C-alpha cells in the first residue's frame, strides 16, 4: 500500500509512523487523559484498514484526518487536541516556502503526482521538468497573490477546479482556431523572420508546422488548423510542376501533348502531397514546444470548406493522404509501427461522403479503417452541427472547446482567429453531497457555487485584459488570432463574443445518482439532469448580458482532475456507494463507464446534452478490435451523422517491446495499485510498452494517475 507525501512523491505505507505520531501526542497529556499502547495500536490498525478500503494511494493529509477521527472516536480528546496543534504548527512552517520540496522532487523524478498529471508529458525530460518547475512557481504566486483566497480554498478542496493555474501568472489564453488561411495567403512573421506566401504545397505544409510550434509555445491549450487552408496550394504546385515538366521535355527535345505533360505533373504532385502530409504528421509528433510536449493540435478535414470544385477535389486528395499515413502510424524506438497521440484528426460527415453512393464515400471507408486501428479520426456531423450553430460547420478548438457563431462588421460569420479565454469547472457531485439530498438546498448551494465560478472566471478574463500584442506576436500581430499593432492591447478581442470563456462541469451522473437514486439515463432522472444543464446555461446567459463576455457551458475533459475530485469527495463525505466509491468521477454529461448500454442508445441519449453544452462537448463509444468488422464501424458513423454533432470511437492500440505482443495491454491490481501488464509475457515496465488510450478527447500515451487508470480499466464495451 502506498501513500503520497506532500511533495508529491510516493512511498510505502508505514503503520509505525502513525503509532509514533499518536504516541508523541499522548506523551504530553496528563496521565488521566493518556491512552494505552493497545489503544494506540488499534487506532493505527483502523487507519490502515480505512486506507486499504479506499483502494488508492492516500495523501499524508488524508491519513492524518483519519488519525484525528480515530483518536476522537476513542474519546481521547486531549490527545486529539495535541495532535491537531502539532499538525497546525507544522503546516505554518511548511507555508513559509511552498515550492522548494516540490521542485526538488520534480528534478529527482520521484514526484508521482507530476508523473501522472499529463498523459502526454514525460516528466523525466529536462524540458518537461523545466515547465513543471516554472508551473510550481506560477501556482505559488497565483495562490498567494493573484487569486482571492476563497477561490484558492475552493480549488484546493475540489469544490471547483481553476484550470491551468500553472500558467495563470502569465498573460496566456487557453485554445484557438488558428487562422492558417490568413497566415499562408498574406504572409506572417516567425521569430522575427518574414514568411511570404508559399509557392508550393510542400512549402505551405512546412510553414504550417512552424506556425503550429510557435502557437503552442505561446498558449497552454489546444489549437486547430484546417486542411482546407492548405488545399489552394495544391493547384499552385500543379501549375508549377506542369511548367517544369514542359521545360524539361523541351530541353530534352521530346515532343509531348499537354495531356501527357499533365499526367507526369500529376504523378509528381501526388508525391509532393505525400511528402507534405508526412511533414505535418512527423513534425507534429517530434516537435517539443517550450512546455515540453508535442503541440496539442487538431487537424480538421471538411470537404465543403473548399471554395470551388477543383479545390474540393484537391482537398480530398490531402485528406486521403492524411488518413492513409495515420493508418500506418509511426515507428517507435524499436522500429515498430505504433499509434501516435498527435495530431488529432476530425473528419466531417456530409452528404458527399456519408452514403455508399456518395462521391467521396471512399474517404469515409478509409476513415473507418483508420479509426478501427488508430483511434482517429473523430467525427463531426455537418447536418447536426448546422442545426445547432446557425447553419455553420467549423472545427472545435483542441479536443472539444467550441465557439458560438459570431459575425464581423460586414455581417460575415468568422471562426478562424478566435480563441477561448480559459475554464473554471464546477464539481456537481460536491453540490449534491453538500445539500444532503435536499432539493431546495441543492439549488441554493448550486447558485452559490456558480457565483464562485463566475468570480473565478472573471479573474481569468481580467488577467488577460491589458495584455499587449507584443506578449505573443505570432498570435496577436502576425495573424494566428489577429493583426493588431505593436503596443496595442488585445482587449477588444475579449468582448462581444469574439472569444469565449467557459464554465466547465463534471460529475453529472454522480450528482443525479445521489439526488434521485437513479442514473441520469433513467427516464425518471433524466429531466433533473436536463434541468441542471439548463440552470448552468441560464447562469451563463445572465453573465453574458451583464458583461458582454461570451460565457458558455463546457463539458470538461477531466484528466488528472477526475482523480483529484474523487479524492476530495471521499475526504469530505466518505465513501458512498455508487457516488464516491471510485477513484474518479464521470466526465461532463457522459454515461457512467460501468453502465451497460448499447452504442447507438448511448449516442442517442448523450445527444440530448450536447446542444446544452454549447461551449464544447464530445461523446464516445467503447469498442473492441473492429479491424475485421468495418461494416459495423461504418454503421456507427452513419448513425453519428444523423443523430449527434460530435463523437468518437475508442478502441485499443498497444505494443509490448519485451515480447512483441500487439494487442491490448491489460490493467491489473497489485498491492492496492493499478498497473499495466502484458498478457503475453507479464511485462509491467511502462518504459517497455506503448499504450494509447483516449483520455479526455485527446489520445494519451504517457500513462495516467490511479483514478484515470481505474476509469479506463472499468470501461464497458458498447458494441
The residues carrying an active-site annotation are 174-175, 397, 399, 401, 420, 554, 559, 697
Backbone angles phi, psi at 12, to 5 degrees: -70, 145
* Residue recorded with cell 456530409: 350
State the cell numbers at 644: 449527434
Nearest CA-CA partner of 425 in 220, 174, 163? 163
Q: Does residue 8 contact residue 102 with C-beta atoms inside 8 Å?
A: yes
CA distance linking residue 273 with residue 324, whole number of Å: 12
Nearest CA-CA partner of 297 in 230, 342, 346? 342
Listed in sequence order, the DSSP H helices in 28-148 are: 37-54, 60-73, 77-95, 100-107, 112-117, 126-141
Residue 297 CA to chain centroid, in angstroms?
11
Residue 50 CA to chain centroid, in angstroms?
32
Q: Does residue 479 contact residue 492 with C-beta atoms inside 8 Å?
A: no
CA distance linking residue 120 with residue 342, whole number of Å: 10
CA distance linking residue 152 with residue 264, whole number of Å: 65
CA distance linking residue 561 with residue 568, whole number of Å: 10
- For 656, the enclosing helix (H) or strand (E) is strand 655-656
DSSP symbol at 348: E
Cα 695 to Cα 232, 557, 707, 708, distances in angstroms: 35, 8, 12, 8
Secondary structure tally for the chain: helices H, strands E: 24, 24
- For 398, the enclosing helix (H) or strand (E) is none
Q: Does residue 233 contact residue 187 with C-beta atoms inside 8 Å?
A: no
Nearest CA-CA partner of 558 in 240, 249, 236, 117? 117
Q: What residues contact residue 198 under an 8 Å CB cut-off, 6+ apart?
A: 184, 204, 206, 207, 233, 236
State the cell numbers at 206: 512546412
Q: Does residue 299 contact residue 222 with C-beta atoms inside 8 Å?
A: no
Q: Does residue 472 contact residue 176 with C-beta atoms inside 8 Å?
A: no
How many C-beta neighbours within 10 Å does residue 668 have?
13
- The number of residues making up the chain comes to 719
Side-chain half-sphere of 502: how many Cα atoms within 13 Å? 32
How many C-beta neighbours within 10 Å does residue 170 have?
15
> Which long-range CB contacts under 8 A does 43-52 form with residues at least 24 apart?
43/18, 43/67, 43/70, 43/71, 43/74, 44/15, 44/16, 44/18, 44/19, 45/15, 46/70, 47/15, 47/18, 48/1, 48/13, 48/15, 48/18, 51/1, 51/3, 51/13, 52/1, 52/672
DSSP three-state, residue 314: helix
- For 223, the enclosing helix (H) or strand (E) is strand 223-226
CA distance linking residue 356 with residue 631, whole number of Å: 11
Q: Does residue 106 contact residue 133 with C-beta atoms inside 8 Å?
A: yes
State the cell numbers at 546: 451583464
DSSP symbol at 134: H
Q: What residues contact residue 241 under an 8 Å CB cut-off, 6+ apart?
A: 265, 268, 269, 272
Q: Does residue 215 contact residue 177 with C-beta atoms inside 8 Å?
A: no
Residue 676: strand pairing partners? 667
Amino acid at each position: 500500500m502506498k501513500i503520497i507525501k506532500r511533495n508529491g512523491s510516493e512511498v510505502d505505507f508505514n503503520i509505525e509512523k502513525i503509532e509514533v505520531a499518536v504516541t508523541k501526542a499522548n506523551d504530553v497529556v496528563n496521565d488521566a487523559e493518556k491512552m494505552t499502547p493497545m489503544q494506540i495500536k488499534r487506532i493505527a490498525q483502523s487507519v490502515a484498514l480505512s486506507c486499504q478500503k479506499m483502494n488508492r494511494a492516500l495523501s499524508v493529509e488524508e491519513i492524518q484526518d483519519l488519525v484525528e477521527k480515530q483518536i476522537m472516536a476513542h474519546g481521547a480528546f486531549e490527545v486529539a487536541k495535541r495532535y491537531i496543534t502539532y499538525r497546525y504548527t507544522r503546516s505554518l512552517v511548511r507555508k513559509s516556502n511552498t515550492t522548494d520540496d516540490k521542485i526538488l522532487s520534480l528534478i529527482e523524478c520521484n514526484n508521482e503526482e507530476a508523473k501522472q498529471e499529463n498523459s502526454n508529458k514525460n516528466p523525466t525530460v529536462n524540458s518537461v521538468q523545466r515547465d513543471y518547475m516554472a508551473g510550481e512557481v506560477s501556482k505559488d504566486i497565483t495562490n498567494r497573490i493573484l487569486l482571492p483566497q476563497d477561490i484558492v480554498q475552493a480549488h484546493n478542496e475540489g469544490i471547483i477546479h481553476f484550470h491551468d493555474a500553472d500558467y495563470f501568472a502569465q498573460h496566456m489564453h487557453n485554445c484557438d482556431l488558428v487562422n492558417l488561411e490568413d497566415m499562408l495567403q498574406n504572409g506572417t512573421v516567425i521569430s522575427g523572420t518574414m514568411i511570404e506566401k508559399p509557392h508550393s504545397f510542400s512549402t505551405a505544409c512546412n510553414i504550417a508546422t512552424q506556425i503550429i510550434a510557435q502557437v503552442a509555445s505561446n498558449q497552454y491549450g489546444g489549437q486547430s488548423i484546417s486542411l482546407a487552408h492548405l488545399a489552394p496550394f495544391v493547384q499552385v504546385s500543379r501549375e508549377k510542376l506542369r511548367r517544369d515538366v514542359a521545360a524539361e521535355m523541351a530541353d530534352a527535345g521530346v515532343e509531348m501533348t499537354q495531356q501527357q505533360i499533365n499526367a507526369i505533373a500529376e504523378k509528381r504532385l501526388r508525391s509532393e502531397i505525400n511528402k507534405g502530409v508526412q511533414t505535418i504528421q512527423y513534425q507534429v509528433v517530434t516537435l517539443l514546444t517550450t512546455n515540453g510536449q508535442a503541440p496539442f493540435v487538431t487537424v480538421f478535414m471538411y470537404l465543403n470548406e473548399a471554395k470551388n470544385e477543383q479545390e474540393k477535389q484537391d482537398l480530398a486528395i490531402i485528406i486521403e493522404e492524411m488518413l492513409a499515413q495515420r493508418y500506418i502510424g509511426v515507428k517507435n524506438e524499436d522500429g515498430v509501427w505504433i499509434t501516435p497521440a498527435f495530431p488529432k484528426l476530425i473528419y466531417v460527415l456530409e452528404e458527399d461522403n456519408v452514403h455508399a453512393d456518395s462521391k467521396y464515400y471512399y474517404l469515409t471507408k478509409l476513415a473507418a479503417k483508420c479509426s478501427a486501428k488508430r483511434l482517429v479520426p473523430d467525427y463531426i456531423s455537418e447536418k447536426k452541427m448546422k442545426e445547432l450553430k446557425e447553419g455553420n460547420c467549423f472545427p472545435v478548438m483542441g479536443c472539444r472547446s467550441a465557439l458560438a457563431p459570431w459575425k464581423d462588421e460586414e455581417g460575415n460569420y468568422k471562426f478562424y482567429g478566435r480563441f477561448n479565454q480559459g475554464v473554471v469547472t464546477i464539481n456537481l457531485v460536491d453540490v449534491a453531497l453538500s445539500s444532503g439530498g435536499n432539493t431546495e438546498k441543492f439549488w441554493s448551494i448550486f447558485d452559490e457555487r456558480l457565483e464562485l465560478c463566475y468570480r473565478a472566471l472573471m479573474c481569468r478574463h481580467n488577467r488577460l485584459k491589458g495584455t499587449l500584442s507584443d506578449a505573443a506576436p505570432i498570435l496577436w500581430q502576425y495573424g494566428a488570432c489577429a493583426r493588431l499593432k505593436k503596443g496595442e492591447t488585445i482587449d477588444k478581442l475579449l468582448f462581444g463574443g469574439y472569444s469565449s470563456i467557459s464554465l466547465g462541469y463534471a460529475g453529472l451522473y454522480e450528482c443525479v445518482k445521489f439526488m434521485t437514486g437513479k442514473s441520469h439515463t433513467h427516464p425518471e432522472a433524466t429531466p433533473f439532469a436536463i434541468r441542471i444543464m439548463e440552470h448552468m446555461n441560464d447562469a451563463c446567459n445572465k453573465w453574458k448580458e451583464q458583461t458582454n463576455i461570451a460565457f458558455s457551458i463546457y463539458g470538461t475533459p477531466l484528466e488528472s482532475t477526475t482523480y483529484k475530485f474523487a479524492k476530495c469527495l471521499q475526504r469530505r463525505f466518505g465513501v458512498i456507494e455508487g457516488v464516491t466509491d471510485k477513484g474518479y468521477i464521470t466526465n461532463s454529461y457522459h454515461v457512467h463507464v460501468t453502465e451497460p448500454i448499447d452504442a447507438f442508445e448511448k449516442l442517442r441519449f448523450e445527444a440530448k446534452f450536447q446542444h446544452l453544452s454549447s461551449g464544447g462537448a464530445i461523446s464516445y463509444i467503447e469498442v473492441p478490435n473492429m479491424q475485421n468488422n468495418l461494416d459495423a464501424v461504418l454503421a456507427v458513423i452513419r448513425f453519428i451523422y444523423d443523430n449527434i454533432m460530435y463523437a468518437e470511437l475508442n478502441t485499443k492500440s498497444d505494443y509490448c517491446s519485451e515480447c512483441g505482443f500487439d494487442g491490448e495491454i491489460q490493467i491489473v491490481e497489485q498491492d492496492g495499485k493499478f498497473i499495466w501488464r502484458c498478457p503475453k509475457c507479464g511485462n509491467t515496465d511502462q518504459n517497455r510498452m506503448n499504450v494509447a488510450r483516449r483520455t479526455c478527447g485527446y489520445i494519451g500515451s504517457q500513462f495516467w494517475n490511479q483514478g484515470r487508470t481505474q476509469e479506463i480499466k472499468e470501461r464497458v464495451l458498447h458494441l
